[in-house]
Amino acid sequence: MNHSDKIALPPDSSIYLCAPVNALVEGIYEENIHLSEILKHGDFGLGTFDDLDGEMIILDGHCYQINSAGKVLEVGEQVLTPFAAVTFYVAGDHYELNEPTSAGQFMRWLNDLLPSPNLFYAIRIEGEFAHLKVRSVPKQANYRPLSAINNEQVVFEFDNITGTLAGFFTPDFLSSLSVPGLHLHFLSADRQHGGHLLECVPRQIRAGIQLINKMELSLPLTSDYLRWDFHRNIRQDLDKVEK
């Protein structure tokens, strides 16, 4: 690409963050933002729930909660969240992977589809997976840093499962706002299983990628957020809990 060439983008391709992720990493698990507010800004995305009560995935405007027992519930607009990232999903190009691929090769394949590490991307992958490792988190009291909860996460592993991976790529330098790099959540086709993706061995998949060059960020107005001292560098914590 010539240095002055531009990548073609769909009009108004933007990501919405209802709070900066560093508030979550510090342990502010109650921001009381209604799902109805989140859905005004997108029909596709991920996040968590107030009190860190499980993993959130939003597909086609439907929001699902995967709790720490591994149970999936479709939830209504009244549920509350401290952190979610959404977009109105419009895939640009699609890419298929139909050959045996290790978990490491899969992550490299996915990263290589992205033309630059300096944009956001929404990523939706449909297909069959030979192996998947996901996690969810048990409900928490406020103010325990996210890194302290790392060894309480519950891991689920599946073989030969069909479903959808949904999430985002965030530029590394925006790590105080959203999880840097690839961040994907899984929901099985039968809506029975899911979680935050830890490892994936695909069998036959189709990945859709949406380039995103705008961001809308809401800053919470809770007293917790307004009074918090955000001087601590949370990058190490984030690498520990979200990778």
Name the site residues for Zn ion (rule: CB under 5 A): 196
Cα–Cα dist 137/156, whole Å: 11
Nearest to 184 by CA among 96, 25, 69, 55: 55
Task: Indicate the residue among 127 and 195 with the shorter CB distance to Zn ion.
Answer: 195
Run of H or E residues at 98: none
* Euclidean distance between CA atoms 234 and 80, whole angstroms: 24
CB of 226 to Zn ion, least distance (A): 26
Output the residue with the shortest Cβ distance to Zn ion: 196
CA 93 remoteness from chain centre: 20
Of 97 and 134, nearer to Zn ion (C-beta) is: 134
Phi, psi at residue 152, to the nearest 5°?
-100, -5
Compute the least distance from the CB of residue 99 to Zn ion, in Å: 28
| Torsion sign over Cα 189, 195, 200, 205 | positive
Nearer Cβ to Zn ion (124/196): 196
Nearer to Zn ion, 92 or 138 (CB): 138
User: Is 193 or 196 the residue whose CB approaches Zn ion more closely?
Assistant: 196
Distance of closest approach, residue 230 Cβ to Zn ion, in angstroms: 21
State in angstroms the smallest separation of the CB of 183 from Zn ion.
6
CB of 95 to Zn ion, least distance (A): 23
Please state the φ and ψ torsions of residue 17, each to the nearest 5 degrees.
Answer: -115, 125
Q: State in angstroms the smallest separation of the CB of 55 from Zn ion.
A: 6
Residues 6+ apart with CB under 8 A from 179: 21, 168, 170, 238, 242
**Closest C-alpha among 172, 120, 98 to residue 109:** 98
Which CB, 9 or 154, lies closer to Zn ion?
A: 154
In this structure, are residues 121 and 209 in contact, taking their beta carbons and an 8 Å threshold?
yes
